[in-house]
Amino acid sequence: MDLADAYLQRHEEHRIAVRKQSFAANPKLVAAQRNLLCAIIALKQRVEGVRYEHKDGRMHLIAQSIQGVDLAFIAIVDGLYAQAAALQKQQLEAIAALGEYTAGTRKDGKTPNIRNTGQRGFGRMYGELNDIAHPSNDHILESLCHFEEEGKQGPTTKPKFVEEYCRYFLSNHCLQMLNLWRHMSYVYRDEFELPFPNEDDQNIRSAMISLMELGYLGYDGGGN
């Protein structure tokens, strides 16, 4: 085993330990994420292999968003919060682009305007994620990469569990997945003439109830 393999093995061990803490501290959010993923995959499977007339970039945006959904979740529960922030920024931009396509205002090559997500609170979320993803705030960097142990302290490459960050990113992730599911429903209805799936779907209903109980989703279905 060379130095790289040894380091990566230790790194993975630390991530597994953080993952266990994340799951234990946030059972409802983890369950909601699972429900939302099941709903998204079930909707995707309804159109697999079905021919359609390509009209715009919405289908590719949806595919890209689904491709990275597991990476975003793993980054959160493994304590890689700066990486999670960057992935969630990208997801918000994809959701905003989907909103622009729906509104007929999408311009190819232009960065999507986050105000076009159609979701209350996503603009504020984007600003918060930007602060975490970019290495411009010393206090944020210190909170992510600093250790204090047995009289020693300093920067560390070991991922660590930070309950506030974990809860924040998991709730963001669930709200983004719910928004993606809604956009998929509209796009698939337009492209494939599928009946619009309602929010009585068992997985969606369970996820929304959990998010409402935790205070992350209003009873009108909008994020708080």
Q: What is the tens place of the pLDDT at every residue in 51-65?
A: 777 777 888 899 999
pLDDT at 219: 55
Mean pLDDT throughout 12-21?
A: 96
Share of the chain above pLDDT 90, in %: 50
pLDDT at 198: 63
User: What pTM did the predictor assign?
Assistant: 0.89
Inform me whether the pLDDT recorded for 15 exceeds 90. Answer: yes
Q: What's the CA gap between 156 and 145, in Å, rounded?
A: 5
Listed residue (14, 34, 24) closest to 173, CA to CA: 34
Residue scoring higher pLDDT (116 or 16): 16
Q: What's the CA gap between 61 and 80, in Å, rounded?
A: 24
Residue 7 makes CB contacts below 8 A (sequence gap 6+) with none
Segment 167-212, tens digit of pLDDT: 999 999 999 999 999 999 888 888 887 776 666 588 999 999 999 9
pLDDT class for 83, splitting at 50, 70, 90? very high
Q: Among 76-80, 109-113, 159-163, name the one with the lowest average pLDDT.
A: 109-113
Inform me whether the pLDDT recorded for 22 exceeds 70. Answer: yes
Look at the chain and count its residues. Answer: 224
pLDDT class for 134, splitting at 50, 70, 90? confident
Q: What's the CA gap between 21 and 19, in Å, rounded?
A: 5
Residue 206: CB atoms within 10 Å:
17
- The phi-psi region of residue 116 (left if phi > 0; otherwise alpha if psi is between -120 and 50; otherwise beta) is alpha
pLDDT class for 105, splitting at 50, 70, 90? confident
Query: What is the greatest pairwise CA distance in the chain?
Result: 65
What's the whole-number average pLDDT of the chain? Answer: 87
User: Are 194 and 91 contacting, i.e. CB atoms less than 8 angstroms apart?
Assistant: no
